[in-house]
Amino acid sequence: MRFIVFFALGLLSAALYAASPVWKIEAGNNSLFLAGTIHVLRSTDFPLPAALDKAYRQSQRLVFETDIGQTQSADFGRQLMLALRLPPDQTLDHILSAATIKRLRQHLQQNGMNFDVLKHFKPSMIAMTLTLAELNRLGAGESGVDVFYFGRAQQDQKPVSGLETGQQQLEFLALMGDGAEDEMILQTLDEIDKLKTGFPQMIESWKVGDAAQMEKQFVEPMRQHFAAVYQQLLVSRNRAWMPQIEDMLTTAPTEMVLVGSAHLLGPDGLLVQLEKAGYKITQLD
């Protein structure tokens, strides 16, 4: 997954520059807020952009990519580890090319990580492990925008739900990268090489809603060079989420929908799809 977080713009106008990572979607008298999130943040990245809090206060329900309550449970963690483990008769050497294994081994050795421990897990687990390890080195923890507002909603007793169930998330992570295993590992290693300078730039672009810059840095390279991963991680999930989002626009309560920013933007992003469907879209200041 582009675990580093995900952005793009595409067909929307230049008026979307320098505002915030939150858009208001309107259908007649009904509306919702669509917020692009970053899944991991540094302590210095707080406070979050004011538009997020504005959308939160005006919303009666929060909707996340998945049921965060389920994914935070110990049982989910155990199921996830089992789902991401390779069959007993396989290791990464059976799945990845020799060239990819060589590059992966070099990265692990340089960063004090053990290939023999990781070789029993699927490439999706390797990608997550490597990316989170690098983000931790840069001072980013496991909590980001989504977890922050999930906690706020619990305190304020606002209803929460997910576009995907915990089980769907498990199945997605277990199958992620199937048929494109080398592509996923190589993309992850490429991203990690750019994280030291790219992550701070990404945060700043996200805070002011500079969608064009975010697309250039993070989504367009994936779309052009890692087409299979792009289809799995963004396009297919966006298609599954669109009917749910449109259903929300037929009811009076205002929802705040929080998803990784790459899902919003770019030619296959939710904002473009909603614009094509005729909804009014306004980026918050």
Neighbours of 102 (CB within 10 A): 11
Amino acid at 244: Q
Whose CA is closest to 264, among 1, 12, 71?
12
Q: Which portions of the chain are predicted below pLDDT 70?
A: 1-18, 142
Whose CA is closest to 68, among 171, 160, 170, 173?
160
Q: Identify the pLDDT of residue 2.
A: 40
Q: Identify the pLDDT of residue 195.
A: 87
Q: Identify the pLDDT of residue 120.
A: 97
Q: 270 near 238, Cβ under 8 Å? A: yes
Angle at 174 between CA 221 and CA 236, to 5 degrees: 50
Q: Identify the pLDDT of residue 18.
A: 53
Whose CA is closest to 263, among 281, 244, 238, 243?
238
Secondary structure string (H, E, C) spanning 169-184: HHHHHHHCCCCCHHHH
- Strands 280-283 and 22-27 turn out to be antiparallel
Q: Identify the pLDDT of residue 251.
A: 95
Q: 270 near 264, Cβ under 8 Å? A: yes
Angle at 4 between CA 35 and CA 157, to 5 degrees: 40
Give per-residue pLDDT as tens, 159-211: 999 999 988 888 888 888 888 899 889 989 988 988 888 889 889 989 988 88
Q: Which residues of 191-223 are buried (b: 16+ CB within 10 A; e: fewer)?
A: bbeebeebbeebbebbbebbbbbbbebbbbbbb
Amino acid at 4: I
DSSP secondary structure code for residue 72 in this structure? T
Q: Identify the pLDDT of residue 182.
A: 94
Give per-residue pLDDT as tens, 128-161: 999 999 999 999 976 899 999 999 999 999 999 9
Q: Identify the pLDDT of residue 5.
A: 38
Residue with tokens 């939160």: 56
Chain-centre distance of CA 56, in angstroms? 19
Largest separation between any pair of C-alpha atoms in the chain: 58
Q: What is the pTM of this model?
A: 0.88
